[in-house]
Chains A and B, each alone.
Chain A
């Protein structure tokens, strides 16, 4: 299992994938807002989304798990 973690502290403003989606490495999966700026979080590796660990408007810290992938 692979994990996609927050690249910085911020608020989740959008989730761009659904469970079961195949994502490609480099694709944006979550949008955070930090310091009044939209910060995209991209998948570092390709895989199938098995779990989405956050909800829109959740506050996350750097390193928090956002999404789990398999494949």
Chain B
């Protein structure tokens, strides 16, 4: 791969957008953790971001076709690691999501997302026909469903659900009869109540209830939503200023450097800040989609669109939760929320998008 191409064709706009979003994130983490025991989180985050750019670069190095070739190997590894988390994993906040020592640990499921993106791209790009057959769909759904269930029973419903849009968008792009879609919707409509009472755990049910009516349970999950809405609303047009938000600074917002970081951001930077930040995410998404459009092949397009679907889902669910329009699922806001695994995994995926972009002229 000649050097001139890698420098010139690199998606510099994406890098600028990512830098801007990450900078807002670091600033907000600094503000949200000021004078708390997490006060060093902002520079840790900055180091993770630097590491992320290395990951982004690594993600572009190897031709994504060879990565796709190993997709099933990655898939096998991912399943093995997920099972290993059950055996070796650390329990934190009541669920087993991390592997490693207490000083350095990885949230395995973050990287499984990447594997799912590769898996879906590989599977769909190998299909011959114009439309997706039901048989293929079921096969793919089972392949995605296995890690999904493993993550769900950690239990981490939020992350598990992020696999669904990857699959959904992939299937949609691959071509799918609308009759099937209707059938699946009906199936979901029937299965949802059963799932609600049988599969969901109490705390998850509580989250659903509190999403539907936050005031009914003001001390549990509802409390988080109410406090988040108060934080967002009190930010008004211009915000209350960095380190000036009483909801954030007074710890009324739960985990304001992680899942509710956008709430803290909205309080301190107001509607104007929100428009800027969401604008950056929107441009980033459009940039990824543009890379999908210019992808040299189906597989490349599926990779880009898988990443786009994942990112859109994250933004929708996380930011929607912040304004009370989505249930509390506990998934982070990519690139802003404090947390190493999430950052590195996201940068790796953006590396893949770049990987596709860099090879759009190559055959």
Q: Do A and B bind each other?
A: no
